[in-house]
Structure 1
């Protein structure tokens, strides 16, 4: 199947903030928006984000979303660079969780702060700058925020929180013309999932259990994110969209 070519004018004149954009899913999302005419602020704690942004001809900000002033700093950087903010994509997050009884307080705090609380704080700071109507927010959740999988407790709880935050905020902001949705990726081939993809049990349960019989790519996530921010999704809000190759709908093992 041929790839769908980006529309170079779909987001012309729009300004987008993408967190966790140095590589992986965030890089793919930033690349898609740039290819469709948007101006993009790529944010990441990893300095590599500067190189990624330069390759895309966009603007970088080295900043951790867990900093208490992250949202304000991100908003100011986008406003200084573009004069506006139309779209916020909360993608930054960490992986590598454990079973509950193996999770100390530091691990629990780190996952809840990075993968959930930071999303609330950053969004709170950016929302006042979004256009009314027309603002868009897309949060990156996970299929593990929808279904259980052993050994991912703090991660899964945080991503479930992102899903509920999406629904909650959609109800609060829709009357103002701001739409809020989320994408819940399945297994995506990124640097963050390298360890999982080398685990035989994980591969058997997740990769072989995916009906389309392959892992996803960052581009597989970037397309749905772009759709949710487009006028084609003008009547869509509060949705948590699985993008998982059919895993949640009809997971199966090899027959």
Structure 2
């Protein structure tokens, strides 16, 4: 399935590429003809992705590694073309109120969800100048927009990522570098599938109270990411696009059971 022919021939980095939203994004971009540098610390997942998807360059790495930008620079040199796009998708998430979140856990949320994206975006804007511009898409969360219960560290890190999106969009727009974010709601991934099936309260809150009344799929988010990377979004920057089935807009009880 394709979504943006304007991405054909472009070189795009995707982090957290081996599963969930990242895997769907890599597949969609590669299907559109893009060359994708897929970054993940899951060696088996990366190998599977590279074997099954043409145009993928796997890079086994942890996004919190300060040396990752240099490794990416070397990869770009070996490919022999400038960078066109970056998708900061890698992230972690756990519950916990502020009183239950220690300093070390908060630092981990910030290291993975915010600092890694900051570091890679800083690298990317420099690399994109050689191409005359480019696009960055950060994967935030609907929790970066609405108040969420028992999610202090995660919500804070994702809200900061949305703020970084707006700030960098302001600074680098004059260089034809667009920076946007997506804010997924409840998405069915390997990490959430079991909880969605077993936790009735989660289905009630996130599905029965959402206008579209279904759980999201990774491809739902991947399509929006591809749009924001492509020429069709050429006049869009600094935005955080909700991909949540309308949940944040329309949280209200429903008389019928959710599908």
When normalised by structure 2's length, the TM-score is 0.92
Whole-angstrom distance in 1 between the partners of 2:107 and 2:158: 14
Secondary structure (helix, strand or coil) at the match of 2:248 reads helix
- The correspondence of residues 1-255 of structure 1 with structure 2, limited to 5 A, is 5-6=1-2, 9-47=5-43, 48-57=45-54, 58-131=56-129, 133-194=132-193, 196-197=195-196, 198-255=198-255
User: For the residues of structure 2 that align with 1:207 and 1:34, how far apart are their CA atoms?
Assistant: 31
Give the drift of 1:108. 0.9
Once the 2 structures are TM-superposed, how far is the Cα of residue 129 of structure 1 from its aligned partner?
A: 0.7
Query: Does structure 1 conserve the Cα–Cα contact (< 8 Å) formed by 2:4 and 2:227?
Result: no
Provide the secondary structure at the position in 2 that maps to 1:60.
strand
Query: 8 Å contact 2:3–2:227 — kept in the other structure?
Result: no
RMSD after superposition: 1.5
- After the TM superposition, which of the residue ranges 201-210 and 102-111 deviates more from structure 2? 201-210
Secondary structure in 2 matching 1:180: strand
> How has the CA–CA distance of structure 1 residues 189 and 82 changed in structure 2, closer, same or farther, with 3 Å as cutoff?
farther
| Contact 2:4-2:226 at 8 Å conserved across structures | no
SS of structure 2 residue aligned to 1:163: helix
> CA–CA distance in 2 between the matches of 1:92 and 1:35?
21
Per-residue CA shift, 1:184-224, capped at 9, x if unaligned? 00110001223542333222111221110101111101111
SS in 2 for 1:66: coil
Q: State the Cα distance separating 1:8 from its structure 2 match.
A: 7.5
Counterpart secondary structure, 2:64? coil
* Matched residue count: 251
Assess, with a 3 A threshold, how the Cα gap between structure 1 residues 112 and 7 changes in structure 2: closer, same or farther.
Answer: closer
Compared CA separation, residues 76 and 126, structure 1 to 2 (3 A) = farther
Do the aligned partners of residues 30 and 82 (structure 1) sit closer, same or farther apart at CA in structure 2, a change above 3 Å counting? Answer: farther
* More divergent stretch after superposition (122-131 vs 85-94): 122-131
d(CA) in 1 for partners of 2:18 and 2:192? 15
Q: State how far apart, in whole Å, the 1-side matches of 2:33 and 2:187 are.
A: 25
Gaps of 5+ in 2: none
User: How many angstroms apart in 2 are the aligned matches of 1:251 and 1:141?
Assistant: 20
TM-score by length of 1: 0.93
Structure 1 residue ranges without an equivalent (≥5)? none
Task: Report how far residue 82 of structure 1 moved.
Answer: 4.9
After superposing the two structures, state which structure 1 stretch, 110-119 or 202-211, moved more.
202-211
Instruction: Answer yes or no: is the 8 Å Cα contact 2:140–2:184 preserved in 1.
Output: yes
